[in-house]
Amino acid sequence: MAMDWAMAAGRWLGWAWLGVLAGCGGGKPQAADLQRAESMRPADARLAGKYQRSCLICHGNQASQAPLAGFAPAWKPRLEKGMPLLLAHVRDGFNAMPVRGYCNDCSDEEFGRLIAFMAGDGGEGAR
């Protein structure tokens, strides 16, 4: 269902800014961050293909409330919890992310590289 009604209704109620991205921390992405999230891809072409068809749907779109690709402040508190927990979240699903994060042919190693790429730690580079 589309709930774009809320774009206006949230403001009508005057509550739109309440609790935005609770738990994400690290401030709000700016226009440049959103543009970067749309355009960045892993340097590895094979991984880039998986990223584009699986991760980008949510991690390139702020409306998903998933941590935005390349926006380090959103990823820092998550990385601090450790890669094993993040991998478990991908395998089991977490919040709106389904089991295996829309990538049924990704290995754990590839999930780790995709997380590192989105977290912007330079692990995979970007193009």
Binding site for other proteins (CB under 8 A): 1-20, 22-23, 52-54, 56-58, 61-66, 88-89, 91-96, 98-99, 102-105
CB of 124 to other proteins, least distance (A): 19
CA–CA dist 71, 117 (Å, integer): 11
CB nearer to other proteins: give 58 or 116.
Answer: 58
CB nearer to other proteins: give 33 or 122.
Answer: 33
CB of 122 to other proteins, least distance (A): 25
CB nearer to other proteins: give 45 or 122.
Answer: 45
CB of 4 to other proteins, least distance (A): 6
Q: Is the dihedral of CA 64, 115, 74, 51 positive or negative?
A: negative
The number of residues in the chain equals 127
